[in-house]
Structure formats: C-alpha cells, structure tokens
Amino acid sequence: MVDVKGVCAAERHAVAMRWLKLLLARLEQAHFGRKISLVGVNMKMRSLASIAIGFCLFGCGGGGGEPAAPHYAGSWSGGVSLVSNSCPRAIPEEFRYISFLHNVEQGISEDALGNVLVDIVLNDGSDTFVGIGERDANGAGSKFSASGSPHELPGFLSHYTCIEILDFNYDAIDFVSLTAGFVTRHSTITCTRGSEIKTCDVTYTGSAYKTASP
C-alpha cells in the first residue's frame, strides 16, 4: 500500500529544495561585485523565498489543497520582432527577430493581506526572471510577467556605465489552444556618467505556444 502522505511530503521537500537552491544562486549573483543598486534584486530574493514557502505549504495538495490558479508552468516556444528602439545604437538586422524557449515554473504564496499570489520563475536558458501571474477571484487568469536582475552592458555607450533590466510579459493566454497571443520582450537601459543619466528602451513583440507542461 502506497503511503500517499509520505510521497507528497517528499515531493514538497524536493520542490522546496530546488527553489531554495535557486534563491541561494540569486543571492550569490547579487553580490558578485556589481556596483549597482540591489533594491530590485532584493525584492526578487523575497519573492523567491515566498515561492519556496508556498510550495512547502500548498504542494501536492497538502494543507487543505492548492488554491485554484491558472496553469502557466511549462515550456513556451515563440518569437518576437523589434517594434521600437529609443536607444542611440541601432539594432543590427540579424537581431531584429529573436526566437526563444522559456521554461516557466510557478508556485503559490500569500501577501501580507492574505491574498493568494501566483509566483512565476522564467528561465530562458541563461538567465532567470521572477514575477507574478494573473489570478482572479475564481482562480482564472490569462497573463503573467517576469523581470530579470539588473546587469551591466560594457561598451554600450562610450564613457558611460550602462545597466539593463529585461522583462517578459505574456498576455492573451488561451489554455485551450495553449497559446500566448501577445508576448513582449522589453529592455530598459540606464546609462550614467557622473551626475548625467540617459535612459532608453528597446521593445519586441510577438507570440508563443506551450510545448510541454510539468
């Protein structure tokens, strides 16, 4: 006879450990000698910690069952095309279309008011992005977003120190056709030299489809 409670507890522990390892990796990344503001990074640390706790509490139907939420988790494949660039550097032709494969994981947590949150972690194969998925009172939703940590762009603008923050937004998600009708890849770049600050944006839009679910 299978000990269901024991299996669920083991699964919750394994998942929580995976998220905690990711949290430690992000902490190491945040302190890797970067002379930039870590406010955004620290916020993501707290979000990752909440996800790990959420998996412990709600994973495998424990604690009264996982609250209903859209199933965003899985592998998403798609592509986006350049639609705007306010930066002083032109985007080469070969980089005006970007294809991608995103692995998305989700967890359940609660905010200080007890509202249920859908925590999102997106990995594009080289970087990790953290965000929130939409969830209404009925447990439904059709969009999520995730942002990366600030990182430096050496040589982007001569004599300036430039920092980029990249985020992805999935919208118009259809869980029947397993498609995201509108995907945005948005980059905000801030360059500084002394007290001088220059900011610009690069935006791509496209779509994606879900190729696999966990």
Note down pLDDT in tens along the chain; length 214 residues: 444 344 344 444 444 555 554 555 454 444 443 443 434 444 445 545 545 544 444 444 434 455 678 999 999 999 999 999 999 999 999 999 999 999 999 999 988 988 889 999 999 999 999 999 999 888 899 999 999 999 999 999 999 999 999 999 999 999 999 999 999 999 999 999 999 999 999 999 999 999 988 7
pTM over 0.85: no
Q: How far is Cα 198 from Cα 176, in angstroms, rounded to an integer?
A: 44
Domain boundaries, the chain: 4-212
Q: How far is Cα 52 from Cα 111, in angstroms, rounded to an integer?
A: 14
Residue 155's nearest CA partner among 124, 106, 189 is: 189
Using DSSP, state whether 8 is helix, strand or coil: helix
